Amino acid sequence: MKILFTLESFFPTHRAGTEVYVLNLCNYFKAKGHDVSVLITSSEGLKDYSYEGIPIHVFDIPKHAIAEELNGLMPPRGIEAFKVKLLELQPDLIHFHSFGRAINSYHLKEAKALGIRTVFTPHLGSLFCINGDMRLYGKANCNGEVIESRCLSCNLKQKGYSVHLSKILGPIIHKATHFNPIENKLPAAFYQAKHRFSELKRINQYADVIFSIAPWIQKAFEANGVTKAQLIPQGISPVFFKAFHKTQFDPKLIKFVFIGRTHSSKGLHILRDAWNALSNPNAELHIITNPSGGEQTYYDDHKQWAQSKTNIIWNEALKQEEVASYLNGMDVLILPSISNEVAPLVILEAATRKIPVIASDYVAMKDLIQHDMDGLLFKNEDDEDLKNQIYQIIESPNLIGKYSKAIKKTHSMNQVAEIIEVKFKELFNYTK
């Protein structure tokens, strides 16, 4: 089978959770004898290359997006180059991973029109939420149902309008975008919610298979009438299941660890404020991170902060094997993400070492952590609440053992890939 995995970026320049997920799938299917390659975008003139023996194909997109394509009023520019690549590569199956500025359901539709089997797996909550945070009016977790007037109101609230005024303006804007005499004269940003609704309809129409890698994603698909979605486990790299030796726990020096990109959506600034408020010397914070595009100042500020503290250890660009080894010496994972999480790999990676997690109560984390049973949750964006949860662990280190015993076994990406392979073969009526 000739399989093409498609996403906006890939190793070695981008190495976030989605890229790791796709790399693991590539390695599995390649080992199974399938013809595997990856298709990504570039606005910098990047040429086709190879990564760990995997062919990486590239199609060009403009350096800067325009409002019309961001809000679905036109297909993303670069879609013609995408079609050229598909005609050149002639894959049997194309597996899309998340949609964004450069690749979205317009590309899915084009692939389907060429007779290619189509599969889609989202890795970001922004598929359902125009704010990207899955938080209704910034106060509570949203169920992900795209109700255009409500989404527009919620977006206006995020922009600084009062809740009362936002709830008045949202339905007005919604009606205007569906009123033919003026719809082409409105600002493109007014169409954000309409675009999300249309994206989901195209996904349901043109994807042969849709995978949900978290229960909340499956529920959100169902709330939006996407009938083809099916829930599968989230999986992590096989390297985390190799034999390891966990360092003996020392209650006199509890080692907390943050793992994630240095991006504001990961909430490192929340952790910084909480950590600064701590006065207990019996704790260390270890940070394993990578810079994130577009937030250089955020990265510089936090690296400087970390290096100014004697109880913070900063690490960059660790390979998966190095992260797995590093976790052997850690006691508690802190994941203060504000938004854009689906089923965080790092929680599952820590679970292989029975490491409990302190995480925000963002919808994706609530799928994986039961408060005060196998970890702790704090109110999203509330550094005071995070500080209190950290203190709870420091003052009662026996909680670490209690939570560790309740942590459930997680899946290897090889196990998940086996499930995906079965679905792939069903699309071609394979009998073996």
Query: Which single residue is written with the structure tokens 């399989």?
Result: 3
Q: Kindly report whether the peptide bond that precedes residue 215 is cis, defined as omega within 30 degrees of 0.
A: no
Say if residue 308 is exposed, middle or buried (CB neighbours under 10 Å; 0-12, 13-18, 19+). exposed
User: How many Å apart are CA 352 and CA 300, to the nearest integer?
Assistant: 32
User: How many Å apart are CA 31 and CA 53, to the nearest integer?
Assistant: 11
pLDDT digits (tens, 9 = 90+) for 299-336: 999 999 999 999 999 999 898 899 999 999 999 999 99
User: How many Å apart are CA 94 and CA 107, to the nearest integer?
Assistant: 11
Give the per-residue pLDDT at 339.
83
| Backbone angle region of 33, left / alpha / beta, with phi > 0 → left and psi within -120 to 50 → alpha | left
| Domains observed in the chain | 2-129+192-234+413-427 (3.40.50.2000), 137-190 (no CATH), 239-409 (3.40.50.2000)
Give the per-residue pLDDT at 125.
86
> Can you list the positions of beta strands (E) in 164-219?
209-212
Give the per-residue pLDDT at 431.
40
Structure tokens at 119: 């599969």
User: How many Å apart are CA 29 and CA 35, to the nearest integer?
Assistant: 8
Give the per-residue pLDDT at 183.
58
Give the per-residue pLDDT at 427.
94
- Report residues of the chain scoring pLDDT below 70: 182-184, 430-432
Q: Could you give phi then psi for residue 208, rounded to 5 degrees?
A: -75, -35
